[in-house]
């Protein structure tokens, strides 16, 4: 069975500071990993994904994430936070042959001026 | 532009009513999903469908049913609404391949009074 754990339900950073949102997964088969962002009263949209190949993946809005198999992690980072980054972020996992995508509980990012 | 459209953004229903939430996608995706989103609990899968007339229970199917008569449309039915079904409901669709992302609708915020 697959599962996703996001460490920290709330993260607060100052504008211009590093953003680090943590995600650990559990999977008995090679995973596909995703980060989604949700702005208030909207659905989720894809930030980035890892399927195969390069373990450092870049996404929209300056975000990137690194797949570390040995640590079963897929942490999301952005070098410099912007006020517009304030949103909820979800890590998710799926695998070949699987119908479902499993989501973490989400991390709400606050950005202080 | 790809699109998943949910029929209502906000709904208020009375306890005991039968409630229909409709979702339409224009991407010819095989898989469609209904999630429920509650604070601190992330996205929980209610039901999913991998083909017309096919459906599978997710993690929290009790009190819900679904219908998929056409490939593009996936309906969620609350047989007899209860106050504990007050929540945000998100519909998503995804191609058959698991290494592809899901596309989400804007969500329906349902309040049962």
Give the alpha-carbon dihedral of B1, B4, B10, B13, to 10 degrees.
160
Interface check for A40 against chain B (CB to CB < 8 A): the answer is: no
Q: Write down the pLDDT at residue A30.
A: 85
Which 3 state secondary structure label does DSSP give B85? helix
Backbone torsions φ then ψ of A61, nearest 5 degrees: 60, 25
Interface check for A53 against chain B (CB to CB < 8 A): the answer is: no
Considering only the beta carbons, identify the residue of A43, A44, A99 that sits closest to B48: A99
Q: What is the CA radius of gyration of chain A?
A: 13
Q: What is the 3-state secondary structure (H, E, C) of chain A?
A: CCEEEEECCEEEEECCCCEEEEEEEECCCCCEEEEEEECCCCCEEEEEEECCCCCEEECHHHCEEEEECCCCEEEEEECCCCHHHCEEEEEEEECCCCCCCEECCCEEEEEEC
Q: Write down the pLDDT at residue A108.
A: 96
CB contact under 8 A, A32 and B41: no
Mean of pLDDT over chain A? 93
Burial class (CB in 10 A: 0-12, 13-18, 19+), B95: middle
Q: Which residue has the higher pLDDT, B1 or B88?
A: B88
Query: Nearest to residue B99, comparing CAs of A4, A25, A2, A49?
Result: A49
Mean of pLDDT over chain B? 94
Query: Tens digit of pLDDT for each residue in A20-70?
Result: 999 999 988 888 999 999 998 888 999 999 998 889 999 999 999 999 999
CB contact under 8 A, B99 and A106: no
Q: Write down the pLDDT at residue B1.
A: 67
Considering only the beta carbons, identify the residue of B40, B58, B101 that sits closest to A46: B101
- Residue B76, pLDDT > 70, answer yes
In chain B, what is the greatest distance between 2 CA atoms, to the nearest angstrom?
Answer: 40
Burial class (CB in 10 A: 0-12, 13-18, 19+), B63: middle
Dihedral over Cα of B78, B83, B84, B88: its sign: positive
Q: Write down the pLDDT at residue A14.
A: 97
Tokens of A69: 């198999």
Tokens of A74: 């897929």
A99 — pLDDT class (breaks 50, 70, 90):
confident
């Amino acid at each position: 069975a697959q599962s996703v754990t996001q460490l920290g339900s709330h993260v607060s950073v100052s504008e211009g500071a590093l953003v680090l949102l943590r995600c650990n997964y559990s999977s008995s088969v090679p995973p596909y990993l995703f980060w989604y962002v949700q702005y208030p009263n909207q659905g989720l949209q894809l930030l980035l994904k890892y399927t195969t190949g390069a373990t450092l993946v870049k996404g929209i809005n300056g975000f990137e994430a690194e797949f570390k198999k040995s640590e079963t992690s897929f942490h999301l980072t952005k070098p410099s936070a912007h006020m517009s980054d304030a949103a909820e972020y979800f890590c998710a996992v799926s695998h070949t042959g699987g119908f479902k995508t499993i989501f973490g509980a989400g991390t709400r990012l606050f950005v202080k001026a | 532009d790809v699109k998943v459209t949910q029929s209502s953004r906000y709904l208020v229903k009375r306890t005991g009513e039968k409630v229909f939430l409709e979702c339409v996608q224009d991407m010819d995706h095989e898989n469609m999903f209904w999630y429920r989103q509650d604070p601190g609990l992330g996205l929980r899968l209610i039901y999913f469908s991998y083909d017309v007339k096919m459906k599978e229970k997710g993690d929290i199917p009790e009190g819900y049913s679904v219908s998929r008569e056409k490939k593009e449309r996936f309906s969620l039915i609350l047989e007899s609404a209860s106050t504990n079904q007050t929540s945000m409901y998100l519909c998503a669709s995804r191609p058959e391949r698991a290494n592809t992302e899901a596309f989400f609708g804007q969500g329906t915020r349902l309040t049962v009074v």
